[in-house]
């Protein structure tokens, strides 16, 4: 079983659409959770952290369900500039070490005019 | 915000060459830096964790003698791919944390695209 699984994608949506990404993780001891975006042939960039209470940043809303080991990202009113690959990332704890980021394969989003 | 600089951004070289990649934290101290590798259409995979002043911790399947890591200061870690071969061609990315807390996000360098001919 993969440690972090995401929707396979790609998602092709028109401008203004609402799009949702889902992610599940296998390690129940995981400590923290993030969504990163990665543009083609570029490094990942932090989009937002994900908290159990849910959090919102403008058009982006992230939610975490620890019981189901499920993370989501909702993008409202999508823009052309939102086109990228969205990576679900989980930080695992390892015996007192600083933790290790586990990346999902990512879901590619293409927003069309 | 926190900035991580990686150099070079693109390398093309012949098989058998050794290639050094630098990762610098520009405005913060990083006791720990991480080195990742990403093949086309694949996830980023952690190769090793670089600890300032001590030996790096390598992930299973990553040869420590092939991927030499040096973290001599709180702002610089280097990865040397020794005697690189075409199968080492990949996108190498470093990251660093500002604090020792495990729940802090990591900041990534721009990545180095390595092509071995």
Closest C-alpha to A55, from A78, A77, A72? A72
Contact B32 A42 (CB under 8 A): no
What does the pLDDT read at residue A2? 64
Arithmetic mean of pLDDT over chain A = 89
- The pLDDT confidence band at residue B86, using thresholds 50, 70 and 90, is very high
In angstroms, the CA A11 to CA A5 distance is 16
Nearest-Cα distance to chain B for A72, in Å, is: 18
Rounded to whole angstroms, how far apart are CA atoms A95 and B115?
Answer: 36
Q: What is the pLDDT of residue A111?
A: 97
Task: Give the full edge-to-edge strand order of the sheet including A19-25.
Answer: A4-6, A19-25, A70-75, A60-65, A55-57
**Whole-angstrom Cα distance, residue A63 to residue A70?**
8
Q: Which residue among A43, A87, A106 sits closest to B109, beta carbon to beta carbon?
A: A43
- B95/A contact by beta carbon, under 8 A: yes
- Under the banding of pLDDT at 50, 70 and 90, the label for residue A8 is confident
What is residue A91's predicted lDDT score, i.e. its pLDDT? 85
d(CA B62, CA B53): 21
* Residue A51 predicted with pLDDT over 70: yes
Scanning A43-102 for CB atoms below 8 A from B yields 43-46, 49, 87, 91, 93, 97-101
Distance CA A87, CA A44 (A): 8
Q: Which two tokens stand for residue A21?
A: 């990404």
Q: What whole-number distance in Å separates Cα of residue B80 and Cα of residue B83?
A: 9
Residue carrying the six token digits 């090793």? B48
- Arithmetic mean of pLDDT, B25-36: 88
């Amino acid at each position: 079983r993969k440690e972090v699984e995401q929707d396979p994608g790609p998602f092709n949506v028109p401008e203004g659409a609402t799009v949702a990404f889902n992610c599940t993780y296998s390690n129940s001891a995981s400590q923290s959770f993030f969504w990163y975006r990665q543009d083609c042939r570029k490094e990942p960039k932090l989009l937002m952290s994900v908290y159990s209470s849910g959090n919102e940043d403008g058009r982006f809303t992230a939610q975490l369900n620890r019981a189901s080991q499920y993370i989501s990202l909702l993008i409202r009113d999508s823009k052309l500039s939102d086109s990228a690959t969205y990576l679900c990332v989980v930080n695992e704890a390892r015996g007192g070490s600083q933790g290790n980021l586990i990346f999902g394969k990512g879901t590619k989003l293409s927003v069309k005019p | 915000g926190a900035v991580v600089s990686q150099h070079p951004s693109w390398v093309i070289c012949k098989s058998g060459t050794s290639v050094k990649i630098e990762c610098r934290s520009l405005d913060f101290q990083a006791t720990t830096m991480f080195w990742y590798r990403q093949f086309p259409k694949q996830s980023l995979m952690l190769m090793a964790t670089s600890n300032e002043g001590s030996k790096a911790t390598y992930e299973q399947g990553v040869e420590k003698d092939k991927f030499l890591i040096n973290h001599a200061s709180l702002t610089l870690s280097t990865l040397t791919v020794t005697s690189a071969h075409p199968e080492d061609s990949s996108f190498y990315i470093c990251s660093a944390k500002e604090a020792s807390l495990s729940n802090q996000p990591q900041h990534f360098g721009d990545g180095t695209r390595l092509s071995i001919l």
